[in-house]
Amino acid sequence: AQSVAQPEDQVNVAEGNPLTVKCTYSVSGNPYLFWYVQYPNRGLQFLLKYITGDNLVKGSYGFEAEFNKSQTSFHLKKPSALVSDSALYFCAVRDRMDSSYKLIFGSGTRLLVRP
Amino acid sequence: DAGVTQSPTHLIKTRGQHVTLRCSPISGHKSVSWYQQVLGQGPQFIFQYYEKEERGRGNFPDRFSARQFPNYSSELNVNALLLGDSALYLCASSLADLITDTQYFGPGTRLTVL
């Protein structure tokens, strides 16, 4: 069965420090992987995606993510956190074998960046 | 350019009633998907439509139905509302029906069932 795990409910980091939000996945075939961010009372905003090619993907607002096939992980990273990065982050996977192309989301990780 | 728009923003209904939620995709996008996000959880897939045809359906009861119109806008209908239907309903649009397409989400409709 397809699934996404975000093992941390919350990540706390000081402004200016690097941040990592973890994500692992399970799909039957090769995955397509996505990160979205959700601010309070808002929809989801797309950050980045991995389709194929370079394992390091760069996205919006200085975020990047590293695809690791052997560890089935797709961790989100940023070299220097901003207070404005505080939000709810969702990892999602799409299975190439699924004709509906639906996104399967993790449970989300709340990022809190303190000044 | 305008993003995905959804209406209404908020909705309060009572058990047993029916609700219709509306979504307009990004201009040029032909695929629309619906997701349900219960508080504290990630979004769960309900439907995907492309060129007015249903392309996928999630694990939701038949009380949930949807359609896509010739202008690619979409409606999600829920009949016989239950308390458990209270959630944020998200619409997402994508350019076409390719597995590599990015889905762009609207702000959602907050449905409260009393």
Task: Check residue B1 and give its pLDDT.
Answer: 60
What is the three-class DSSP state of B93? strand
| Residues ≥6 apart with Cβ < 8 Å to B68 | B32, B49, B50, B51, B52, B53, B74
Do strands B5-7 and B104-105 pair parallel, antiparallel, or not at all (unpaired)? Answer: unpaired
Q: Where are the extended beta strands (E) located within B10-107?
A: 10-13, 19-24, 31-37, 44-50, 53-57, 64-68, 74-78, 87-94, 104-105
pLDDT score of A98 more than 80 = no
Task: Check residue B104 and give its pLDDT.
Answer: 95
Q: What is the mean pLDDT of chain A?
A: 93
What is the three-class DSSP state of B94? strand
Pick from B42, B100, B104: which is nearest to A107 by CB?
B42
**Are B48 and A106 within 8 A, CB to CB?**
no
CA terminus-to-terminus distance, chain B: 37
What is the three-class DSSP state of A100? coil
**Are A43 and B56 within 8 A, CB to CB?**
no
What is the three-class DSSP state of A33? strand
Task: Check residue B108 and give its pLDDT.
Answer: 96
Task: Check residue B68 and give its pLDDT.
Answer: 97
Average pLDDT rounded to a whole number, residues B66-79 = 97
| Interval A64-88: pLDDT, tens | 999 999 999 999 999 999 999 999 9
Rounded distance, CA A62 to CA B88, Å? 28
pLDDT score of A28 more than 90 = no
Radius of gyration of chain B (CA): 13
CA–CA min distance A103, chain B (Å): 7
Chain B interface mutation, best of A101, A107, A109, highest count of B Cβ atoms under 10 Å? A101
| Residues ≥6 apart with Cβ < 8 Å to B98 | A101
Task: Check residue A80 and give its pLDDT.
Answer: 97
- In chain A, % of residues over pLDDT 90: 79
CA-to-CA dists, residue B101 to A7, A13, A96, B12, B55, angstroms = 27, 32, 12, 33, 14
What is the three-class DSSP state of A71? coil
Which DSSP string corresponds to A38-50? Answer: E-TT--EEEEEEE
Please provide residue A84's backbone torsions phi and psi, each rounded to the nearest 5 degrees.
-70, -10
Average pLDDT rounded to a whole number, residues A18-37 = 93
Residues on A contacting B at a C-beta cutoff of 8 Å:
4, 32, 34, 36, 41-46, 49, 51, 90, 92, 94, 96, 98-108
Chain B interface mutation, best of A21, A49, A90, A103, highest count of B Cβ atoms under 10 Å? A103
| Interval B25-72: pLDDT, tens | 999 999 999 999 999 899 999 999 999 999 999 999 999 999 999 999
Burial class (CB in 10 A: 0-12, 13-18, 19+), A114: exposed
Partner A contacted by B30 (CB < 8 A): no
